Amino acid sequence: MPIACSLLIHALLSAGAVPPPEDSWWPSELPSRVATPLAESPDQHDARMAWWRESRFGLFIHWGLYAIPGGYWEGRRTGGAEWILNSVKIHPDDYMPLQQQFDPVDFDPMKWVMIAKNAGMKYIVITSKHHDGFCLWPSELTDFDVEGTPFGRDILGELAEACRNEGIVLCLYHSIMDWTQPDYLPRRAWDDRPADGADYQRYVAYMKGQLQELVDRYQPAVLWFDGEWEGTWTHEDGQAMYDFVRTIDPAVIVNNRVDTGRTGMAGLTRSGGYRGDFGTPEQEIPATGMPFGVDWETCMTMNRSWGYQSFDVAFKPTQELLRKLVDIASKGGNFLLNVGPDERGRFPEESIDRLAAIGDWMQVNNESIHGTFASCFTDLDWGRCTRRNLPDGNQRLYLHVFDSPASDVIRLPGILNDPVERGAYLLATPGAGPLAVERAGADLVIRLPEGMSPGIDTVLVLDIEGPAIVVEAPSIDVTEPIFLESATLNFSAVSDDVEIRYTLDGTTPELGSANGGIGPIEIRRSATVMARCFFEGSPVGSVATAALRRVEPLRAVQTLTSRPGLRWTTHLGAFETVADFADIKPATEGVATSIDLSMQPRPENFAVRFTGFLEAPQTGVYRFSLDSDDGSRLKIGDVVVVDNDGLHSALEKSGVIALEKGLHPFRLDYFEGTGQDDLILKWSGPNFELQPIPAEALKR
Ligand code: FHN
């Protein structure tokens, strides 16, 4: 490198102006959106998702007619924000005239975009249409849109232009549920508009027509669906909608609320072919990172409301919001932080202040967020870690120090990589000279600058040789936690440079304990297995535990005869647990050779009970996976094998039981409250993987 150039780089470094890593774009141009085929390969999928993964941070905007009442109705403070039509039970004929009051004279799209950009946000998701059905763009398909307001301007069009000018990516939220569109079903209970002429598939066609308008006019990079939970929207509708939008725009990214596979507010996507390119945890952050390759984005309000409510002043402090951003990025997710503009088109001052403060931090530290991926550590007691790969094959760790550790050092537990010779430095002042990095067994220890007070989050940078190798608890590989005659154990760790030691009596493994690295271990008695890694003679990482029980199989029952199929009964009522319908007379009954909801008597507030026998094809250990919305419970004989009871959105639980070959009394109770309904029961057993229970195994 010519001297002059190296001096320039040195000057930049010492001035704290660290050139961003090569693989980041910001802020000069929009990212390249990659069009891929519907049946895309993993590499094609990665190419389509790249800009979104790189972004890590976006602005959510909930704005519409509901900003006018802002949580008040007929002079009363009702709350409800964007849900006010529903929560105050307002008839559409009384709600829709708000259209004539919509005149946000202070709407300034460039101001909105610059607030987002200066906060370090890379995309904006705005509600093109929320549940009330009002459209923020001039639609050819309805008069219930912005064109029919005193304001009249194309809000989405103006925002799209401001985004393009500033290198911010425009994305659109679009609600499937629509409380005012005449073909949408179900009607709200207080909505007495006749439903007999309503045609739900005509509504789906209307929705597709509007999505075509939005794609053609504004080219949203993400379609953020919502309101998928009412029973009228099916998995088939969701699959078709995903395919439709990915066909009209092969580069578009679609969230998992387009389909019906979202696991409630936890937001992740159930297995089984449910569509969606990323999961959507809402108002919560997953406790740990996700398996590699699972994309997700937490959406969250700054206060308690998505839509504007003047009295909702419970804004989260800047430190809390910023640390959520860092926590999410350290788990490999995106953060979609919401603002609800008021009826004049203004962001609340509290929102502006917090975004500006976050922007001050991002101005210095944005490379520790943009383009990074999840931490290599499960748990750090002083903060979080994000990282990126470097062109030379090394890895850059960004160490986010939230709280000053007592001893002025931070410990990186179990990391076997050596630091590159440069050592560690403060991202904010890279030229201030390296920080001492020492190896302490399997840990690296970094000495913090004297008296450093981390404030909201102080970022240290440490480059390590090669991809991170971090030793944590070994994994104890065993098929099931119960066994009949014997069980086979295998132990594994992330590196061959560590030894694995284990015990079977629940005591903590020592260096002299049994060696877990010499192949499968067979046990024939119940055991509490504990395993730990050792590096250069010292323990490293946490202890792994597995309780394994030897059991006797449940005896099969002898019956004189059995016929194919389970008996089912349905029961009507608003239940909260499966016990609630135990004594309610059946409304209908019949026989089923598969477990599904084809017999459901109505979309909501019903229960189904399946009774009969389950035929175990051979003696062995069986696992049952029960996925339901709402509650369910599976009993075999007198054993509750899976208890998935209660009012909840889609949730999967599983349980194991040892069965003798033959027939076993079987009872599955399920109830549905309101919204989405699902009941999926699968089993696995000796020599077969998880699958639906075949008809030949269901008797009565
Ligand atoms: O009902 C909506 C709500 O109004 C808001 O849009 C949130 C944001 O994700 N989504 C639904 C509630 O889960």
Q: What CATH number does residue 526 fall under?
A: 2.60.40
Residue of the nearest CA to atom 1 in ligand 1? Answer: 227
Report whether pLDDT(223) > 90. yes
Q: How far is the CA of 236 from the centre of ligand 1 (A)?
A: 22
End-of-domain residue from the set 464, 483, 516 = 464
Site to probe by mutation for ligand 1, drawn from 222, 226, 258, 301 as the one with most ligand atoms within 8 Å of Cβ, is: 226
Compute φ and ψ for 643, nearest 5 degrees. -115, 105
Ligand 1 atom closest to the Cα of residue 307 is 4
Domain co-membership, 342 together with 419? no
Domain co-membership, 532 together with 575? no
Residue 274 near residue 261 (C-beta atoms within 8 A) = yes
Q: How far is the CA of 226 from the centre of ligand 1 (A)?
A: 7
Report whether pLDDT(140) > 60. yes
Residue of the nearest CA to atom 10 in ligand 1? Answer: 226
Q: What band does 27 get if pLDDT is binned at 50, 70 and 90?
A: low
User: Residue range 150-160: average pLDDT?
Assistant: 98
Strand order from edge to edge, sheet including 443-447: 409-412, 443-447, 437-440
Q: How far is the CA of 97 from the centre of ligand 1 (A)?
A: 23
Ligand 1 atom closest to the Cα of residue 62 is 6
Domain co-membership, 430 together with 503? no
The CATH number that applies at residue 55 is: 3.20.20.80
Ligand 1 atom closest to the Cα of residue 177 is 1
User: Residue range 577-601: average pLDDT?
Assistant: 94
What is the model's pTM? Answer: 0.89
Residue 29 lies in a domain: no
Domain of 403 in residue numbering reads as 383-464
Domain co-membership, 349 together with 398? no
Report whether pLDDT(269) > 60. yes
Domain co-membership, 610 together with 496? no
Which letter, b or e, does each residue of 254-266 get, where b requires 16 or more Cβ atoms within 10 Å of its Cβ? bbbbbbbbbbeeb
Pairing of strands 222-226, 169-175: parallel
| C-alpha pair distances (Å), 192 with each of 90, 93, 142 | 11, 10, 21
End-of-domain residue from the set 439, 464, 489 = 464
Q: How far is the CA of 294 from the centre of ligand 1 (A)?
A: 22
Residue 340 lies in a domain: yes
Ligand 1 atom closest to the Cα of residue 83 is 4
Domain co-membership, 362 together with 392? no
Number of domains in the chain: 4
Q: How far is the CA of 221 from the centre of ligand 1 (A)?
A: 20
Domain co-membership, 486 together with 591? no
Q: What band does 16 get if pLDDT is binned at 50, 70 and 90?
A: very low
Q: Name the packing angle between helices 109-118 and 349-365 (round to 10°).
A: 40
> Residues near ligand 1 with C-beta < 6 Å?
82-83, 226, 282, 299, 306
Report whether pLDDT(19) > 70. no
Report whether pLDDT(449) > 90. no
Model confidence over 291-301: pLDDT tens digits?
A: 878 999 999 99
Distance CA 622, CA 615 (A): 12
Ligand 1 atom closest to the Cα of residue 82 is 4
Residue 154 lies in a domain: yes
Q: How far is the CA of 299 from the centre of ligand 1 (A)?
A: 9
Which of 137-141, 432-436, 467-471 is predicted least confidently? 432-436
User: Residue range 437-451: average pLDDT?
Assistant: 91
Ligand 1 atom closest to the Cα of residue 127 is 6
User: Residue range 147-152: average pLDDT?
Assistant: 97
The CATH number that applies at residue 441 is: 2.60.40.1180
Q: What band does 415 get if pLDDT is binned at 50, 70 and 90?
A: very high
Report whether pLDDT(22) > 60. no
Q: Residue 527: CA atoms inside 13 Å, Cβ hemisphere, count?
A: 22
* Res 28: pLDDT: 57
Domain co-membership, 509 together with 434? no
Quick one: which of 308, 377, 314 has its CA closest to 347? 308
User: Residue range 54-81: average pLDDT?
Assistant: 97
End-of-domain residue from the set 333, 368, 403 = 368
Ligand 1 atom closest to the Cα of residue 81 is 4
Domain co-membership, 458 together with 479? no
Domain co-membership, 86 together with 144? yes
Residue of the nearest CA to atom 5 in ligand 1? Answer: 306
Domain co-membership, 351 together with 484? no
| The token pair that represents 6 in the structure block | 């190296």
The CATH number that applies at residue 616 is: 2.60.120.1560
Q: How far is the CA of 282 from the centre of ligand 1 (A)?
A: 8
Share of the chain above pLDDT 90, in %: 85
Residue 555 lies in a domain: no
* Res 268: pLDDT: 86
Q: How far is the CA of 284 from the centre of ligand 1 (A)?
A: 13
E strands, 27-99, are 57-61, 72-73, 76-77
Residue 489 lies in a domain: yes
Q: How far is the CA of 368 from the centre of ligand 1 (A)?
A: 30
* Res 20: pLDDT: 38
Distance CA 192, CA 637 (A): 48
Q: How far is the CA of 215 from the centre of ligand 1 (A)?
A: 22
Comparison of pLDDT for 266 and 52, the residue scoring more: 52
Ligand 1 atom closest to the Cα of residue 130 is 6
Residue 221 lies in a domain: yes
The residues that bridge with 447 in the sheet, in sequence order, are 409
